[in-house]
Amino acid sequence: MTAYGSFPGSRPRRLRTTPAMRRMVAETRLGPADLILPAFVREGVSEPVPIAAMPGVVQHSLDTLRKAAVEAREAGVSGIMLFGVPEDANKDAAGTAGTDPDGILQVAIRAVKAEVGDELVIMSDLCLDEYTDHGHCGVLDADGRVDNDATLERYAEMAQVQADAGVHVVGPSGMMDGQVGVVRDALDTIGKEDVAILAYTAKYSSAFFGPFREAVASSLKGDRKTYQQDPANLRESMRELALDLEEGADMVMVKPAGPYLDVLAKVADAVDVPVAAYQVSGEYAMVEAAAEKGWIDRDTAILETLTGIRRAGAQMILTYWATEVAQKLAR
Ligand code: PBG
């Protein structure tokens, strides 16, 4: 009963009195297994290349990628999401390097698989933007528009070479209509029915992907507004969700995470498949930049962003801080 006399009848502060008390009543927990590390691997380098807009993140060489995978596994991280960065000379209009069995991503999948086997879930970005000389996520038609159905054919091939290389999960991220269904079909056709699909269900055309473009040395001029979603839309994500599930998505993802927690919460409420969120390059860069200036407490801010994403309903979080946070949580 609430008493408005001399004493408050209800005192929520009682449950906040000590760290042990707060820990006990915490509604949201964050553990190493909730985290997935996105990692970039660059073709033709023997030393890792720093990414200026993402301090602390590098374009790995194959060698340092293997080490990063081992480190992530040792810290208890669940998975690693691989992005290939081909040499400029290997980019073309069709993104051929993306379907070359000896393309950088396929080589990286095999290298990580050889190193950690099944102890880390190996995931791969299934998209053409890293491999096309125009930087779009698909192939272009005669008028320079991204051709949805021609792109689907490329994605089907990509799925097969990535699966052949040994990946456990593919992540189609190009936002083409029908991509999940086509990828599922392509995998099943070659007997890779155990390879799972993490569908980028709600992927917004976001300024927060900015630093990623440097990370993958993107050739993109212009934007992706004809295929990625308008930040103004929420119901549209529910439509994308229904389609992805119908087409066979095993897990669904919302991306970016922080500015789209409402989308995440709604998606998480609606489904019974695992839900992931991708804390993207710009979300990372903002915290790192503010911390570098001494304007924010870096470690507390990182945990707060991740806790918020979990609270909103994400079971798994892709974050560039995965290994570091997992190591700290274990202590
Ligand atoms: C597309 C892809 C992008 C990101 C992940 N997959 C870039 C884009 O859509 O422009 C962004 C990830 C990040 O910003 O951290 N292959």
Protein residue with its CA nearest to atom 1 in ligand 1 = 173
| Residue 206 Cα distances to 194, 210, 230, angstroms | 32, 8, 8
The reply to whether ligand 1 has any atom less than 6 angstroms from the CB of 204 is no
What pLDDT is recorded for position 195?
98
Q: Is 113 a catalytic residue?
A: no
Burial per residue of 148-174, b for 16 or more beta-carbon CB atoms within 10 angstroms, e otherwise: beebbebbbebbbbbbebbbbbbbbbb
ipTM over 0.90: yes
CA distance 122 to 167: 5
**pLDDT, tens digit, for every residue of 25-81?**
999 999 999 999 999 999 999 999 999 999 999 999 999 999 999 999 999 999 999
What domains can you pick out in the chain, each with its CATH number?
Answer: 28-330 (3.20.20.70)
255 flagged as catalytic: yes
Ligand 1, pocket-test mutation among 130, 179, 212, most atoms within 8 A of CB: 212
3-class secondary structure, 32: helix
Q: For residue 214, what pLDDT band results from cuts at 50, 70 and 90?
A: confident
Amino acid at 238: M
Ligand 1 atom nearest 175 alpha carbon? 9
Atom 10, ligand 1: residue with shortest CA distance: 209
**Mutational pocket test of ligand 1: of 37, 137, 173, 319, the residue with most ligand atoms within 8 Å of the beta carbon:** 173
| Confidence at residue 250, expressed as pLDDT on a 0 to 100 scale | 98
Per-residue confidence (pLDDT) for residue 215, from 0 to 100: 86
